[in-house]
Amino acid sequence: MVKEAEDLAKIHENIVVKIPIIEEGLKAVKRLTAAGIKTNVTLIFSPGQALLAAKAGATYVSPFVGRLDDISHNGLDIVADIQTIYKNYDFDTEIIVASIRNLFMLSKQHSSARTSRLSHTALSASS
């Protein structure tokens, strides 16, 4: 995983490598962060997973709000919890909401995040 990420990062300085939230993924994030490689830890389904990713040095985390909603969890509440944790512990890790099912979900997230960057990222990804 690390070798592949290093190869990808050589393509351009703006490359962000997607890493799954598994034990080996967190180990890879630590090594990649130390090497100055940006990472996006994916498949986040809980605030605890997002905390582990931030502690490992992830540049971004991607909570899958639509999939959480599919299994009767409020994905946006989990994003709000992650935001609170990151604010309380002064983590630099940013949140990219993934698996957005509709524009209502996006507009609701935009107002709770109080940032247009999150919405802009999500809209750009859906284009």
Active site residues: 18
The neighbour count for residue 113, using CB atoms within 10 Å, is 17
Q: Is the separation of the CB atoms in 64 and 98 below 8 Å? A: yes
CA gap 73, 81 in Å, rounded: 13
Residue 85 identity (one-letter amino acid): I
Closest CA relative to residue 64, chosen from 88, 37, 40? 40
Q: What single DSSP character describes residue 115?
A: -
Q: Looking up tokens 């999500």, which residue turns up?
A: 122
